[in-house]
Structure 1
Amino acid sequence: MDLAIIAAKQVLQLLLMILAGAVCCKAGVFKPQDKSILSNILLYLVVPAMVIDSYLVEFDPETFRNLLSAFGLSILALAIGLAVAVLATCRVAKENRAILRFACGFSNAAYMGFPLIKALFGSEGLLYASAFVTVFNIALWTIGYGIVSGSASAKEIIHSIVTCPCILAVALGLVLYLGRVPVPEVLAGPIGTIGSMNTPLSMIITGATIASSDLKKLLQNKNLFLTLGLRLLVVPAAALAVFALLGVSGMVPMVVLILEACPCVTITTVFAIRFHHDEELAAGAVVFSTLCSIITLPLYALALTAVL
């Protein structure tokens, strides 16, 4: 129950930041197209700094074992999500199937998940969250990219993985953590400060996305509610059921499951435009799953405390 209450309070704070972003966008403080600039700052600077900062802790054998467990459970959770997405969309029209599977199979772990994990579990939780996001990015740029593009060359996949800022940050973080490399405060301080920008900046971008969308038009897409149901309800429930059957418990599985229960990843819209899929379905999935997650994430946190 405590976890659910903390999650509800944190989600309310995130909602207020989302509203701030929406108001700024509507008031003309920045234009909707400026979101790409903010997103690049978040992707290439803020999130990597936050990930590296999570590794700037004293090496502990138990924490390292938990980190390895986080990698394994992340692979399992993502596999469950993708399997549900594929099986549940077999009867969807072929032209909508790819983008729907992508939207249901991949969560917005970095934008919505990291702020929540930091509030619930602190820096140690972020350490395990970085494992999930590493596995997530590898899966997104291999399996996910193949789903939406119809084909993907090995060269494109490898390039996407080795140039992903978050994966590079995890690699550097692991070197510092496992090598027990001392990082002077003159470097650690700015890294931590920049990393702390993740929550407000990601929520401002989310708010701008919502403010610049035609919500009424997006609601008219017949596949939208199927996407929301799968992404926010069925996939998290299936992952929780499998974890419960395996008998896993503690912080690590909770971190992984909360990240898997986040709304549709924002790059869904970008891929829909790039590969000529249903853009309205993609935009609606991102916008409305984000709005609905304000309710579903605290409820899911309550379910975690009851089951695990």
Structure 2
Amino acid sequence: MSKNVIFVQVVTLFLIMGVGFIARKRRIITPVLNKGLTELLIHITTPFMVIAAFQFSFSHEKLVTAGFVFLISLTIHTGSFLISKFIYWRFPLERRKVLSLATIFTNCGFMGYPVVGSLYGSLGIFYTSIYIVVFHLFIWTIGVGTFTGKTDLQTTKKALLNPGIIAVFIGMFLFLFSIRLPEPVTGAIQLIGSMTTPLSMLIIGSMLADIKPADLFRGFDLYYGAFIRLLLLPLLTGGILMALKFNAIITGVCVLAVAMPAASLLVPLAEQNGGDAAFASRLVFLTTLLSVATIPLIIWIV
């Protein structure tokens, strides 16, 4: 079941990338439009997707388990951040930034939800949304700061006021107080939020169109980053959580979230903040392709 879900999700991603690729080749997506799509994704569709993920009924048991998932996610993201500071020193600075962020951030949303859902149902999806809270807290602070090179108080304050961070707090507020938004409002939020992944894939596809085919799979750094992202970190996470004897659903959700390919959001983030968006596109492309084989392996091991 989960193998079929993984295959379907990967093929879907590549088909949308292909549309972006063709649209760029035919000059339908221009550099100016690409920048506009990036702004739309970061400031509108992603925050709506975050809010939609928290539309679950509150219960004390869910809250306690969600607290464990949150703390584990915080530990995983912090640990990945620290590890990334020591394993990419040999590479050029701009690529080192992308590799570092690909080590920290995975595509735990679009690919994570259906894979976790196929194994653990709606409860697994809820805990995945809690895991993703830390993802958004980190990506709008550490992620932006890594590309811009600015980590002063003013920059951190600006990052915390980012729409993605604000959406996290709104979502948590709605969950904790069991506030269910009116159906038309919920429907609108979900529809706008669902645009996030297609937009990301279109942006990636359009950027891949500017890369020579011979360069698409070239470079030791590309495969080194993919190995760290897809195999080393998931196996390390699984070993630690099983040694600490967390229950099966917490272990499974967190390990699968770590086992996902590099986050597609890295590409528009790099594009907006002067990072190496072309290399980020190649890394997202390769890790997504290889994840067809690595995710079932991780599921079997766990």
The bucket for the TM-score relative to the shorter chain is: 0.7 to 0.9
In 1, Cα distance between equivalents of 2:293 and 2:68: 25
Which of 96, 111, 117 aligns to 1:116? It is: 111
TM-score by length of 2: 0.82
Asked whether 1:76 is paired with 2:75, we answer yes
Which of 181, 184, 203 aligns to 2:182? It is: 184
In 2, Cα distance between equivalents of 1:293 and 1:105: 11
In 1, Cα distance between equivalents of 2:95 and 2:22: 34
- Specify the code of the residue in structure 1 equivalent to 2:296: L
Report what 2:227 is aligned to.
Answer: 229
- Paired residues of 1:58 and 1:180 also in contact (CA < 8 A): yes
Identity level (%): 22
1:48 shift after superposition:
1.7
Q: Which SS does the other structure have where 1:89 is aligned?
A: coil
Classify 1:41/1:141 alpha carbon distance in 2 versus 1 (closer, same or farther; 3 Å): closer
Report what 1:19 is aligned to.
Answer: 18
**How many residues were matched structurally?**
295
Q: Map Cα deviations across residues 133-189 of structure 1 (whole Å, 9 max, x no partner).
A: 33234334555566556662122112212x222221121112112112232122112
Which of 157, 178, 194 aligns to 2:192? It is: 194
- Paired residues of 1:38 and 1:205 also in contact (CA < 8 A): yes
Gapped runs of 5+ residues in structure 1? none
1:100 shift after superposition:
5.8
In 1, Cα distance between equivalents of 2:198 and 2:149: 35
Q: Map Cα deviations across residues 45-66 of structure 1 (whole Å, 9 max, x no partner).
A: 2222222122222223333233
Q: Which SS does the other structure have where 2:28 is aligned?
A: coil
Asked whether 1:289 is paired with 2:283, we answer yes
- Paired residues of 1:99 and 1:272 also in contact (CA < 8 A): no
Classify 1:194/1:138 alpha carbon distance in 2 versus 1 (closer, same or farther; 3 Å): closer
Report what 1:299 is aligned to.
Answer: 293
1:72 shift after superposition:
1.1
- Paired residues of 2:148 and 2:274 also in contact (CA < 8 A): no
1:256 shift after superposition:
3.3
- Paired residues of 2:38 and 2:203 also in contact (CA < 8 A): yes
Classify 1:85/1:41 alpha carbon distance in 2 versus 1 (closer, same or farther; 3 Å): same
Asked whether 1:102 is paired with 2:96, we answer no
Q: Map Cα deviations across residues 205-250 of structure 1 (whole Å, 9 max, x no partner).
A: 2212222333534655554433333333333332233233333354
Classify 1:172/1:3 alpha carbon distance in 2 versus 1 (closer, same or farther; 3 Å): same
1:74 shift after superposition:
0.8
In 1, Cα distance between equivalents of 2:112 and 2:102: 21
Q: Which SS does the other structure have where 1:43 is aligned?
A: helix
1:267 shift after superposition:
5.7
- Paired residues of 1:71 and 1:135 also in contact (CA < 8 A): yes
Gapped runs of 5+ residues in structure 2? none
1:86 shift after superposition:
2.6
Report what 2:261 is aligned to.
Answer: 262
Root mean square deviation, CA, Å: 3.1
In 1, Cα distance between equivalents of 2:156 and 2:219: 31
Classify 1:115/1:268 alpha carbon distance in 2 versus 1 (closer, same or farther; 3 Å): closer
Q: Which stretch of the first structure deviates more once superposed, 171-180 or 135-144?
A: 135-144
TM-score by length of 1: 0.80
Q: Which SS does the other structure have where 2:262 is aligned?
A: coil
